[in-house]
Amino acid sequence: MSMCAKVEDTVLRAREVAACVTDPEMPMLSLVDLGVLRSVSEQPDGTIVVTITPTYSGCPAMATMRADLEYALAAAGFGKVDVRTVLTPAWTSDLITPEGRRKLEEHGIAPPHKVGIPAAGPVPLTLRPRPAPVQCPQCDSFDTEQTSAFGSTACKALHRCRNCGEPFDRFKEI
């Protein structure tokens, strides 16, 4: 086996382990589903380097994500692990995978709408909320209302369905 194949196998195995780590605030989502796991590589000295991006500046879950990645990789036999945080390109809710969006909905959380933010360059922000219809994850009705801009975590808002009466979280677009 060539050295390149061994390195590639090591990186693929490390990526598989990292891909199983879940978001501490929404454990139904892996870091891949959420779109925060950016890369996994190996340094010449054997250190596994994992790169993640926060969903927003000051996200309190980042320290737990880092610790969970370090623990999972150590438990899988990777001796040297370096988890790095990168801010560029900025994370957007568009990076949530289709599987992640499906899992959110299955768990009663309305997934964010696609906003079409470019992968590179400045992230445009608006100070006015977008009046996009939100679909209830319980009954699929679009007759919903936001009851609070603040949900169970900073990245979610609280909504209520006028059709079935159920409250639900909605992942905010960023």
pLDDT at res. 88: 87
pLDDT at res. 56: 83
Q: Which of 54, 73, 75 is nearest to 11 (CA)?
A: 73
Residue 146 token pair: 């936001």
pLDDT at res. 118: 58
* Number of alpha carbons in the 13 Å side-chain half-sphere of residue 58: 3
Buried/exposed code over 111-148 (b: 16+ C-beta within 10 A; e: otherwise) = bbbeeebeeeeeeeeeeeeeeeebbbbbeeeeebeeee
Q: Work out the number of other CB atoms within 10 angstroms of the CB of residue 25.
A: 18
Distance CA 144, CA 44 (A): 54
pLDDT at res. 4: 40
Q: Domains, the chain, ranges and CATH?
A: 1-85 (3.30.300.130), 108-112+132-171 (no CATH)
Distance CA 148, CA 62 (A): 25
pLDDT tens-digit profile, the chain (174 residues): 444 445 569 999 999 999 999 999 999 999 999 999 999 999 999 999 999 999 887 788 899 999 999 999 999 999 999 999 998 888 989 999 999 999 999 999 999 988 776 556 665 666 665 567 899 999 999 999 999 988 888 788 999 999 999 999 998 887
pLDDT at res. 172: 85
pLDDT at res. 128: 61
